[in-house]
Amino acid sequence: MRIDIITLFPEMFDGPFKHSILRRAQEKGLLEIHLVQLRDYATDRHRTVDDYPYGGGAGMVLMPEPLANCLDSLKAQRSYDEIVYLTPDGERLTQALCNRLSLCQNLILLCGHYKGIDERIREHYVTKEISIGDYVLSGGELAAAVLVDCVARLIPGVLNDEESALFDSFQDNLLAPPVYTRPENFRGWKVPEVLLSGNHKAIEAWRLQQSHQRTRQRRPDLLPPE
Ligand code: ADE
């Protein structure tokens, strides 16, 4: 998968993609991330990318021209499955949406700043608007990093068998069960007996029961109505 991230702050991505699973995905050639500096597509000598909102009000708005120039230039080079704008008023990012996005070949992620981007770019270029939760970030960069992380780990071949995403929380609309490792007895706090039994059927049944119990207690909204 190729992901082009349009941003005014490419340095914000210096950390998140250089470690662990995302790093390995890139090394294996399964993921290619390109950071695109929006300012390079400004048309005046001050490289202006934002302006005051028509009608007044606080904050600046990203101007349509640099955005359109940047998007035109990318679209002329390849076709994109989705042009995603990260915004708090978008569709909420869920595991189901991550699963769908992980099947894409080419994605553009557009990071807004200030008061957002000119509405005409949303109407004429953006194909999907995504929010990572009901809170307002100071820009789309952190949201884009979250999206890249949870989508990239689902690309076939990125995770090995041991890391498999099949049993992640949310994968079946259930939260994951508790996990334990050595020692068996830590300060008198014991690992549940069944996990030491070697009885794989019983362990599987216990995990499923724990998943249901956790989901009922913590996220009943994930369960189908009774
Ligand atoms: N930009 C600002 N806040 C955001 C959010 N919650 N999700 C996605 N993009 C954003």
Closest-CA residue, ligand 1 atom 10, reads 87
Question: Any bridge partners for residue 113, and if so which?
Answer: 139
| Confidence band, pLDDT 50/70/90 cuts, at residue 172 | confident
Mean pLDDT of the chain: 96
Q: Are residues 189 and 101 in the same domain?
A: no
Last residue of a domain, which of 152, 185, 214?
152
Which is it for the CA torsion 81, 100, 13, 64, positive or negative?
Answer: positive
pLDDT at residue 9, rounded to an integer: 97
136 CB less than 6 Å from ligand 1? yes
Q: Are residues 51 and 139 in the same domain?
A: yes
Q: Write the pLDDT tens digit of every residue in 175-185.
A: 999 999 999 99
Q: Are residues 107 and 41 in the same domain?
A: yes
* Phi and psi angles of residue 134, each rounded to the nearest 5 degrees, phi first: -85, 65
Q: Are residues 115 and 25 in the same domain?
A: yes
Q: Write the pLDDT tens digit of every residue in 43-53.
A: 999 999 999 99
Rounded to an integer, what distance in angstroms lies between the CA atom of residue 210 and that of residue 207? Answer: 5
Q: Write the pLDDT tens digit of every residue in 83-116.
A: 999 999 999 999 999 999 999 999 999 999 878 9
Q: Are residues 24 and 113 in the same domain?
A: yes
Q: What is the DSSP letter of 179?
A: -
Token pair 């609309």 is found at: 173
pLDDT at residue 113, rounded to an integer: 85
Q: Tell whether the model's pLDDT for residue 29 goes beyond 80.
A: yes
Q: Are residues 71 and 102 in the same domain?
A: yes
Closest-CA residue, ligand 1 atom 5, reads 88
Rounded to an integer, what distance in angstroms lies between the CA atom of residue 55 and that of residue 43? Answer: 24
* Å from CA of 179 to ligand 1 middle: 32
Domain count, the chain: 2
| Confidence band, pLDDT 50/70/90 cuts, at residue 166 | confident
Residues in the chain: 226
Peptide bond into 183 cis (omega under 30): yes
Helices 141-152 and 20-27: crossing angle, nearest 10°?
70
Proportion of the chain above pLDDT 70, given as a percent = 100
Residue 23 domain-assigned (yes or no): yes
Q: Which domain holds residue 205?
A: 169-222
Domain CATH for 21: 3.40.1280.10
